[in-house]
Amino acid sequence: MKYLFQGFILGLAYVAPIGLQNLFVINTALTKKLKRALMTALVVIFFDVTLAFASFYGVGALMEKSKILQLAILLIGGLIVIYIGFGLIKDTLNKNVSMKGNTDVDIPFSKVITSACVVTWFNPQAIIDGSMMLGAFRASLPIQETTKFILGVTGASATWFLSITILISLFHNLFNDKVLRVINGICGVVIIIYGVKLLYNFIQALL
């Protein structure tokens, strides 16, 4: 139980800070019905858990050995992140588009899956941070306790994303279209800044 609990606490510390995944889940919970928001949260949890396992068991080692892979992740990830940000701002500026959950059925779930994959697996910072942090902890654990530890980490991911989804969905009626547009706009700007930072890191890595 000790290592399971340690993994859970570390997992919360890793997933709780606002990042692309959290922005994606929060935005969905604010603008979609609870059923769709929960489905989205489950998809994000799936990709987050698979990334945690990959980071824990070796993505970091691959990136350390391949400079080209690092550069590719920074460049492609940065461009995709900026594209997502501009998409959010575009929807915010289009006042003919309702930000509320009654437009839920107009959004293909395949797009939700694709977006969840992008904000997780095309997020260089998540890959780098996850690989460094989880890899470092794995090196410090007794070999027989690694499974308990990573299960704690993944349990924290599920707990966090489901909790914020339910909490925000229950109170989403407090938010009107104007408030939701402001939140969407802020999220879009934050995401674009984040993408620019990734491209800056790409340029620095080239020098």
| Helices 2-15 and 146-170, axial angle in degrees (round to 10) | 50
- DSSP structural state of residue 103: G
Burial class (CB in 10 A: 0-12, 13-18, 19+), 111: exposed
Q: Is 135 exposed, middle or buried (0-12, 13-18, 19+ CB in 10 A)?
A: middle
- Other CB atoms within a 10 A radius of the CB of residue 181 amount to 19
**What number is the average pLDDT over the span 117-134?**
76
Give the pLDDT of residue 103: 40
Reported as a pLDDT band with limits 50, 70 and 90, residue 110 is: confident
Kindly report the three-state secondary structure assignment for every residue of 6-59.
HHHHHHHHHHCCCCHHHHHHHHHHHHCCHHHHHHHHHHHHHHHHHHHHHHHCCH
Give the 3-state secondary structure of residue 161. helix
To the question of pTM greater than 0.75 for the whole model, the response is no
Which of residues 146 and 163 earns the better pLDDT score?
163
Convert the pLDDT of each residue in 38-87 to its tens digit.
Answer: 999 999 999 999 988 888 887 655 665 677 877 887 788 788 778 878 88
Q: Where are the domains of the chain?
A: 2-11+20-206
Q: Report the pLDDT value the prediction gives residue 165, as an integer from 0 to 100.
A: 92
